[in-house]
Amino acid sequence: MANLLIVESPSKVSTIKSYLGSGYKVLASKGHVRDLPKSTLGVDIDKDFEPKYINIRGKGDLIKELKKEAKNAGKVFLATDPDREGEAISWHLVNALDIPAEKIRRVTFNELTKTAIKAAIKNPREIDMDTVNAQQARRILDRIVGYKLSPYLWKRVKSGLSAGRVQSVATRIIVEREDEIREFVPQEYWTIEASLKGEAGAVVAKFYGKGSEKSELTSESDAMAVVNAVKGAQFKVESVKKAVRQKNPAPPFTTSTMQQEASKKLGFQSQRIMKVAQELYEGINVGSEYGGVHGLITYMRTDSLRVSDEAAEAAKEYITSKFGDKYYPNNRRVYKTKANAQDAHEAIRPSDISLEPDMIKSKLTSDQYKLYKLIWSRFIASQMASAEIDTINADITAAGYTFHTSGYSIKFAGYKSLYEDSDDDTGADGDKKTKLPKLTQGEVLEASAVLPEQHFTEPPPRYNEASLIKFLEEKGIGRPSTYTPIITTIIARGYVKRESKSFVPTQLGEITTRLMVDKFPNIVDYRFTANMEDQLDAIESGDDTLVSVLREFYGDFSQSLDTALADTDSQSYEMPVEKTDIICDKCGSVMIVKEGRFGKFAACPNYPGCKNTKPLVSKEEIKEEKAEENVTGEKCEKCGSNMVIRNGRFGSFYACANYPHCKNTRQITKDIGVACPKCGAKVIQKHGRNKSVFYSCERYPDCDFSSWDMPAGENCPDCGAPLFIKKGKNIACCKSEGCGFKKEIDARDE
């Protein structure tokens, strides 16, 4: 009798099946099979927060198939992901499939390799109910907040809003940074640079202060007083200090640091990073010469810095054979994991160090190669010897004032021969070194120029993906698996938008945050949210219980909600209405501005009684644009002339206005404001033959996503697959086989 092994993702099935052989049948649950119902709270608060789970709609046929296979199997190995969510999915599978206790085998593996999977099969365990309860507590907390708080937001701010426990905190972080930027008052300050020349070459020194005390120059008069004092004075090298500084490598990646570094170095958004990391973990066919299908990295949702003895030893052998003994430290590097981190599995590392990125580059997509190389290099570097840097610092005096200069050069590259930190100012190659000419104490230098320069202090920068994830991690808000969903959710709900890779709060986000701070301060309090994460950790470790944590939370929350509902103050949190000068030709009302999927439009304020809408651009303006020969405002990249819109047998296209002297043409594309379901980049609208319209990823051909139907920008709540909008319809549908989920979309959004 064959055994059954159930994983979460279908993409893992073929990889694992190839390792286990004919004695095992491998199937996928495709994520959760049970959840709380959407139509009701689904939590009996009076019965110690007892959840009422139901089978997820659209999963009926899958559950039926899994149940049949589980009944016929000798043993059922539950191999869902090695985290809270995965543990809970295994528990839900046991209940949904009615698996007898004697058949249940819970197995986990940190990497999808033959060795790891066979070792897991040999060492099964029971389902960890403490970990399951930690996941249930999070799910119930989020359901209570969302279900109880959302109607209040509909009443006070805007209908259709959704409240999220951790998402509200993330929005507050971005809103408060925007407030800091608005309130920032620039302060004037001045710097002075002296261009000097000694016997060995030129030196640039910056003003430090008077004597040994550092001085701030806050005005032009301050700066000119120094410039005038040193004019014609003797510049003398007062002291020269040389030292050798050691720079240690960064530890291997956790989920947070991987997202930060990939954002900085590769320019990837967190959603794209995690998608590619998932692909690398689940297995890629790297060719028969390298063992066929292979999971290339360890599990990518972790905040642990632990490295297995086997991996550390493999790294040592690679480093000493590839670089030499001096590139390996005297003692193995062991990195300390943060106190509140979950140490269930290792740091993110390559599962097989011998698979160098360039060896398998042809087998990977561009994104896969870039991220794998980053992970591989970071891990190997983390086990290497420190870099040694020669530093030199010199103080130069003139008329009682001190100027300072410094420089460095790489004495021994160490780990820098392989990996450069994104925030490092020292380089591993000659082009990046900054050297000073030889300076001797007492040497007199010749000044060719002493130049003052005015500056103003700048406000704190807006958060981008890397800095927001770093802040969330430092404050203990969320966990590795939640960073990407947090960011995706606050953007999708319209609380935050992207501007040049930075996050900017929308008016909706600012108003909602102000209400939350006023009425529900605990929900958006950093410390409260971080403490809640600690309590969930305590449930997982067995030091606390689900019921006690939920009771403590709900007591304060329900009291705040009752107070807010009873509040009849006149303070309004409603979104201000932007009026137009357009009169509704159906009911005579002054139309207002609404924002939909494709931007702003004019809508009747009496909706849904009157559903009249109009474009905000008038027919006269459209005619004027056509009269100007459809000039696009873009320039031809070949000759610099204007690009115009032309019509051809296959539809419209961009053409150079300088035709026929310049025959440059370009396809017309349109950003529809939706992320690619495959890689997270932008989806753009294109024109095909016979004037047909289709949609594809802007990164094509690196990403091969394309569809005749428009992506809706959201996933199916039943099976997690992307939703698509049929042409001419107001229905978003799921295309997954056997799902059938449909959702009506407001026609005004189109």
Question: Which residues belong to the active site?
Answer: 299
Q: Which residues lie closer than 8 Å to 346 by C-beta, 6 or more apart?
A: 110, 298, 299, 302, 304, 306, 307, 308, 311
Q: What is the largest CA-CA distance in the chain?
A: 96
CA separation, residue 608 to residues 156, 157, 494, 593, 612 (Å): 19, 18, 22, 15, 9
CB atoms within 10 A of CB 498: 13
Q: Which of 229, 605, 202 is nearest to 438 (CA)?
A: 202
Q: Which residues lie closer than 8 Å to 380 by C-beta, 6 or more apart?
A: 315, 318, 319, 353, 418, 419
Rounded-to-10 torsion of CA 251, 255, 257, 262:
120
DSSP bridge partners of 144 = none
DSSP bridge partners of 505 = 496
Omega within 30 of 0 (cis) for the link into 701: yes
Note whether 56 and 32 are within 8 A (CB): yes
SS3 letters across 35-74:
ECCCCCCCEEHHHCCEECCEECCCCHHHHHHHHHHHHHCC
Specify the amino acid at residue 599: G
DSSP bridge partners of 240 = 394
Instruction: List the Cα angle 631/595/677 in 5-degree steps.
Output: 85
Specify the amino acid at residue 166: V
DSSP bridge partners of 583 = 590
CB atoms within 10 A of CB 45: 15
Instruction: List the Cα angle 360/362/367 in 5-degree steps.
Output: 90
Quote the radius of gyration of the chain (alpha carbons, Å).
31
Q: Which of 342, 321, 452, 421 is nearest to 87 (CA)?
A: 342
553-572 burial, b for 16+ CB within 10 Å, e for fewer?
Answer: bbeebeebbeebeeeeeeee
599 φ/ψ sector (left φ>0, alpha ψ -120 to 50, else beta): left
713 φ/ψ sector (left φ>0, alpha ψ -120 to 50, else beta): left
Omega within 30 of 0 (cis) for the link into 660: yes
